[in-house]
Amino acid sequence: MSQLSFKGHTVVITGAGGGLGKAYSLFYASRGANVVVNDFNQAAAQKVVDEIKNAGGRAVVNNASVTDGTAVIKTALDAFGGVTILINNAGILRDKGFKNMTDQEWDQIQQVHLKGSFSCSRAAWPVFCKQRFGRIVNTASAAGIYGNFGQANYSAAKMGLIAFTKTLALEGARHGIKAMVIAPMAASAMTETIMPPEMLANLKPEFVAPFVAAVTHPDGIDASGRLFEVGAGFIAEVRWERSKGIVFKTDATFTPSAVEAKWEHITDFDSEPQHPTSVPDFDPVSILEAGKKVSSNDQGSPVRFDGKTVIVTGSGAGLGRAHAHLFAKLGANVVVNDVSEKAAQTVVKEITGAGGNAVAAVVSAEDGDAIVKIALEAFGGVHILVANAGVVRPNTFGSMSDKEWDEVMAVHLRSAFKCAKAVWPIFQKQKYGRIVTTSSQAGIYGLSGLANYATAKAATISLTRTLAIEGRKYNILANTIVPSAGAMVGLGRPGSNTDAIKEEYIAPLVGFLSSEANEETTGGLFQVAAGWIAQLRWQRTGGHGFPVNKLLTPEAILSKWKALTDFDDGRATNPTTTQEAFMQIAENFGNESEDSGESSGPSSPYADPEDSEIVAEAKKKKEDPLEYSYTERDVILYNLGVGATEQELQWTFEGDEDFAALPTFGVIPQFAASGGISLDWLPNYNPAKLLHGEQYLSIKGPIPTSGTFVNQARLLEVLDKGKAAAVTSITETKDKATGKVIFENQSTVFIRGAGGFGGKRTGKDRGAASAANTPPQRKPDAVLEEQTLPIQAALYRLSGDYNPLHIQPEFAAIGGFDKPILHGLCSFGISGKHVLKAFGPYSDIKVRFAGVVFPGETLVTEMWKEGGKVIFTTKVKERNTVVLTAAAATLLDQGSPKAKL
């Protein structure tokens, strides 16, 4: 087919100063489009615009916040007279384990990803409607589809964008507007913080941009309302799959126990699975009639809630009221939350009048702390949360106000976050908790006139899935229901068959999911109505992988459209985690075309044209990955090895609710891998002449307190210093269970007498890993000192330090020391602990080793806070000798950046 041209089109791309946004900008410009490059970083945006103009294209910069969509779109109208395509690409990360996630970290993500996409789309909408043409591409992620550890905020926002897109597709169809959503996997400023360079090299943004072009061109394929995973040359479509489910008789035998008895049938996808795409997707009246033909429901083990306390938000009426009554009937203490005091107190009176226990919590569902406080004061505990609160603010998308959007997000999504956050530490401490959240059909398929509601309800699904992932080890199970009942389906008006949509027909499922009888099911999504229950899951096509060493084009993608969207060719899969989803993408890394006519690139991701031949060859060698398994005991040993005490239970007692590894534990798993890199290719190499020069550690995710890591070490940089060689290795440490990169270490060693091999003499700027970190000329902002123990070196050895220099006097004497010395990384860990105590968590830390420490000496860490960085120097007090220099840590909490991506 002929090449697709975008001449005459104006494309607005948010977050376009780098990564995917930059790739989109350059691609559209190369095909003739006018481009608006939006980014909060004016210099980065200008650089992209300059690159486009230098190549003969047309582009302008916009630096407005994406939450000010009017200003973003105005730039397109002012510069080019119109807009035809909008790519909502802007994004940020604020990753944090759920227990420690702040309101600010939650709100920032929702503002940039959800409110930003809403604001920009709404601003473009009247233009699109008037010209009867428009294309919108929204950006989800695998975390949004499947949930992901440490990303409750991000996962929720990204899932919300899926239903948001489906709603835009429905409303836009009659105006010639099409909306698509992609879950891309590509190197960017965000992903480089959680992925190793070697992996990023295979995830070029250039593999995503052609797909977006293919689905936004007027002559391209119609993909409106559809979801695609794209990355590394692999493309697949994703849709919902639903089990046939089971129909219950809606009489007194329809109980949580009856649900348990039929659970295998509810979750059976082997028998007649369905693939619904829109509302209505079932007939509640027909289901109810079918249920009447069923004999009384079989019962499983008895389900009771004696001694348990349940919080039900929005329980003054409707579904919440039905849930509250069921729990009370089965022995639970019930906290009836509602903003209406009259409604809440009425339900409480109904329950207590029937002999049950209940109290009212008349506060906003967003005030989770207040609700939990009432539960604790009334009943001494809380065991179950049913997040049911909701409001509806319907309006056509073009007319939807910020207030209508914000109110729905607050009540449905933020309240679920706040209530879950409030119960989380209690659930963790008691090693028990059940959470049931409430989505809707709008959240599954999108729904015209309810863009806000659909978005919030979809976002709730992946919030819950992330809670399921993080909570499993604490016996916290979290699931989501998609109910159809009463006012929720609009059938409660006169003349309707209200028997089919009674709220009481939803409660038995909620009861089972919330009970001790449910020991395994978590992260699930269940549709329920009129006595029918079924499970929903994702289905992904087998897709198509394009050669990674060949330029990918929209034309090539369109030629393979049937293959990448075929759900019926026997290759479809059902990924349930980000790791499973990524595996198929990763399999395409090695897909190379023999007739590409192009080089497949260097064999090492760290190849440098300035390297000498001997270094270039050494960099090509890839060491075998090494596993490192550990338990909480090993975490405690490390913490003790760097000076933690019996008074600091968060570091020395595995039963403490804040138990954690100190951040510098990240140097331990990679010991064997980085130390195993062969250096015998260096001239005159003698391991006895090796000195540890510098260490850089980047902490890329929450640190598990037990598990198995996989370490991959490579040569990063080799410098010829004349009489010596400076060798820097890089080691990525991944969690074997999740595949997520947890640590990156860069270790620099000096080998005396091994220089003279040629090649570069000066290293490249490696950012924080090579920063000079010169202390400012003022008194330190904080000083901490700590006397090491005489047995400190012996303690530290228990974490894997087998160098006799640190324990055997005879060996220390050979090295010229009067007695064994402390491992440099032990001093590194003690100083890192000092930074943590003085300034809080950090994302990376780097030091240069300048002297030795003898066990029993006192370390003094002097610290200066410079913006988001803490520069520090460590000395031995007794000898006034500097032992760590050029040192700094980048703080995690660096203020509250505006949502301007």
Residue 329's nearest CA partner among 433, 424, 432, 254 is: 254
Domain boundaries, the chain: 10-233+546-590, 241-540, 613-765, 771-894
Q: What are phi and psi of 631, to 5 degrees?
A: -125, 180
* Dist. CA 646–CA 653, nearest whole Å: 8
pLDDT in tens, 78-121: 999 999 999 999 999 999 999 999 999 999 999 999 999 999 99
pLDDT in tens, 835-860: 999 999 999 999 999 999 999 999 99
**Are the CB atoms for 869 and 781 separated by under 8 Å?**
no
Q: What Å distances lie between residue 810 and 688, 788, 796, 813, 893, CA to CA?
A: 15, 22, 19, 5, 47
338-347 average pLDDT score: 97
Q: What Å distances lie between residue 402 and 103, 107, 168, 407, 520, CA to CA?
A: 20, 15, 17, 8, 40
422-430 average pLDDT score: 98
Q: Residue 355 burial (CB < 10 Å; 0-12/13-18/19+)?
A: exposed
Q: Is the peptide bond before 197 cis (omega within 30 degrees of 0)?
A: no
Strands across the sheet containing 724-735: 626-630, 707-720, 724-735, 741-752, 690-699, 842-849, 881-891, 869-876, 858-866, 782-787
* Dist. CA 59–CA 732, nearest whole Å: 38
Biggest alpha carbon–alpha carbon distance for the chain: 96
Residue with tokens 């006595």: 531
* Dist. CA 361–CA 703, nearest whole Å: 37
**Are the CB atoms for 360 and 410 separated by under 8 Å?**
no
Percent of residues in the chain assigned helix, strand, coil, to nearest 5: 40, 20, 40
803, 805, 806, 809 alpha-carbon torsion, rounded to 10°: 140
pTM: 0.71
Q: Does the pLDDT at position 788 exceed 90?
A: yes
pLDDT in tens, 736-764: 988 899 999 999 998 988 998 887 888 88
461-482 average pLDDT score: 97
pLDDT in tens, 52-83: 999 999 999 999 999 999 999 999 999 999 99
Q: Does the pLDDT at position 187 exceed 70?
A: no
* Dist. CA 405–CA 365, nearest whole Å: 17
Residues 6+ apart with CB under 8 A from 527: 242, 245, 282, 441, 444, 481, 482, 484, 533, 534, 535, 536
User: What pLDDT was estimated at residue 193?
Assistant: 54
Per-residue tokens: 48: 């992209």
Helices (H), 735-873: 792-797, 809-814, 824-839
* Dist. CA 572–CA 426, nearest whole Å: 41
pLDDT in tens, 647-700: 999 999 999 999 999 999 999 999 989 988 989 899 988 876 778 899 999 999
14-27 average pLDDT score: 96
* Dist. CA 304–CA 511, nearest whole Å: 9
Task: Tell me the percentage of the chain whose pLDDT exceeds 90.
Answer: 79
C-beta atoms surrounding 294 within 10 Å: 16
Question: In sequence order, what are the beta bridge partners of 237?
Answer: 228
Cα dihedral sign, 490-493-496-498? positive
C-alpha angle 216-222-225 in degrees, rounded to nearest 5? 90
Q: pLDDT-based confidence at 197, cuts 50/70/90?
A: low
**What is the amino acid identity at position 582?**
F
- Three-state DSSP state, 481: strand
Task: Tell me the percentage of the chain whose pLDDT exceeds 70.
Answer: 94
pLDDT in tens, 794-839: 999 999 888 888 999 887 787 678 889 999 999 999 999 999 999 9
Least confident range of 108-122, 511-525, 762-776: 762-776
CATH (residue range 241-540): 3.40.50.720
Q: Does the pLDDT at position 780 exceed 80?
A: yes
Domain topology for 10-233+546-590: Rossmann fold (3.40.50)
User: What pLDDT was estimated at residue 488?
Assistant: 47
Strands 357-361 and 333-337, by their bridges, are parallel
User: What pLDDT was estimated at residue 497?
Assistant: 46
Tally of helices (H runs) and strands (E runs) in the chain? 30, 28
Tell me the average pLDDT of the chain: 92
**What is the amino acid identity at position 344?**
A
Q: Residue 862 burial (CB < 10 Å; 0-12/13-18/19+)?
A: buried
Q: Does the pLDDT at position 145 exceed 70?
A: yes
CATH number of 613-765, picked from 3.30.70.2740, 3.30.300.130, 3.40.1350.10, 3.10.129.10: 3.10.129.10
Least confident range of 127-141, 475-489, 772-786: 475-489
Strands 85-88 and 58-62, by their bridges, are unpaired
Q: CATH topology of 613-765 equal to that of 771-894?
A: yes
722-744 average pLDDT score: 92
Q: Does the pLDDT at position 144 exceed 80?
A: yes
Residues 6+ apart with CB under 8 A from 282: 276, 484, 527, 529, 532
User: What pLDDT was estimated at residue 596?
Assistant: 47
User: What pLDDT was estimated at residue 291?
Assistant: 85
- Three-state DSSP state, 461: helix
* Dist. CA 206–CA 361, nearest whole Å: 53
Q: Does the pLDDT at position 286 exceed 70?
A: yes
214-218 average pLDDT score: 97
Annotate 564-583 with DSSP letters as a single string. HH-SSSS--B---SHHHHHH
pLDDT in tens, 440-465: 999 999 999 999 999 999 999 999 99
* Dist. CA 775–CA 368, nearest whole Å: 44
Q: Does the pLDDT at position 1 exceed 70?
A: no
C-alpha angle 243-245-246 in degrees, rounded to nearest 5? 170
pLDDT in tens, 610-648: 888 899 999 988 888 999 999 999 999 999 999 999 999
C-alpha angle 197-199-204 in degrees, rounded to nearest 5? 90
**Residues with catalytic annotation?**
154, 158, 453
Q: Does the pLDDT at position 41 exceed 80?
A: yes
- The architecture (CATH level 2) of 771-894 comes to Roll (3.10)
